[in-house]
Amino acid sequence: MTVPAITGVTARAVVAPLKRPVRNAFGVIEAGPLVLIDVATDQGVTGHSYLFAYTRQVLKPLVLLVEEIGRDLVGKPVAPFDLQHMLDAKFRLLGWQGLVGMAVSGLDMAFWDARGKVAGKPVAELLGGTARPIRAYDSYGVLDPVADARLLRQSIAEQGFHGVKTKGGHGDLAVDEQMVKGLRALLGPDVALMLDFNQSLDPTEAIRRIARLEAYDLTWIEEPVPQENLSGHARVRERSAVPIQAGENWWFPRGFAEAIAAGASDFIMPDLMKVGGITGWLNVAGQADGASIPMSSHLLPEASAHVLAVTPTAHWLELLDVAGAILVDPVRVTDGTVTARGPGLGLAWNETAVAKHQVQ
């Protein structure tokens, strides 16, 4: 396969409607602020990827940053490992975290998408695997076992999900327990139930809450304390009968190496837009394999289905659809699984919807 060369990089900001708001310990996400990345090549294909910006305030600087970095890449071969090494050197003194890390990760995903399109194959196949069904869980914000009962029953009966995630930490322990107790009664014993605290507790409070909630057969407790507090995570993990999940806010492979060395969690769940895209994910997948740590995904289900297909310790794919409104063919769930689609990452923009939801 002839390696394509980059001829241009563009980015656009959209605020995509969500099927349901996502409420967590710190507020409510009503819509999806996204940055759409396009990497044009000299072989007539364009690599696509997107970033979830969490808040509208960073859309403009993130768009500008992607395009500024992209200007320096024009003329270079679409060789993701080489490009990441070059960008690592460029930003080593500044650091990878924050918007720079997201921009680099988003570009990396678009590089792989372009390579897959040139080859006419899904990225999963380029990586040496096959596009296979990956077990997914339905990811929610704060749930009400009564008000949301119909929605949850549909999720299980119609889409076949065998796992559900909810958010905690939005109230005191009694609030969390009432929600978790009600959900376990509704879902029954055979559906995995995950609880995400979104970094809202200190270690002492996390230990106290988990001790009360362990009776409800939780698959994991996610980010009980601030993500950078690795010793706090390790302390909670040591005292918890429920496995600890973390990693969506750890940056690039070096961040995971430090977290694994600290014994910070039982499971890890990298976010493709913070771990260094697909190139960074592959590095972390090797670390997880060496340490026998189950590895799940965070957001970006379209691309995550490709990398989980080649992850030795693949665990769960998170299904939280933030981009479906602007895609030609949104992510599909079949019997509670998601299968990677191609060519590339299988992404194509619905330009009519993009124009409707684009912001300047």
Catalytic positions: 167, 298
**Two structure tokens written together for 223:** 């980010």
Q: Which two tokens stand for residue 99?
A: 């918007």
CB burial class (10 A; 0-12, 13-18, 19+) of residue 112?
A: buried
Report d(CA 129, CA 355) in Å as an integer. Answer: 36
Residue pair 133/339 in contact (Cβ under 8 Å)? The answer is yes
Distance CA 44, CA 125 (A): 21
Q: Is there a contact between 322 and 52 (Cβ–Cβ < 8 Å)?
A: yes
Whether 220 contacts 267, CB under 8 Å: yes
Dist CA 279 CA 284 (whole Å): 9
The tokens for 356 are 């409707």
Question: Contact, 270 vs 291, CB < 8 A?
Answer: no
Rounded CA-CA distance 329/281 in Å is 24
Name the CA dihedral angle for 3, 116, 303, 132, rounded to a multiple of 10 degrees: -140
The strand pairing partners of 166, in sequence order, are 195
User: What stretches of the chain show up as alpha helix (H) in DSSP?
Assistant: 59-71, 80-91, 99-119, 123-126, 149-157, 173-187, 203-213, 230-239, 252-261, 277-291, 301-308, 351-357
d(CA 212, CA 24): 20
Residue holding tokens 């299968």? 339
Tokens 């390790």 found at: 234
> What CA–CA distance (Å, rounded) separates 347 from 342?
8
Token code pair at residue 311: 């992850």
Written as six digits, the tokens of 152 are: 């949850």
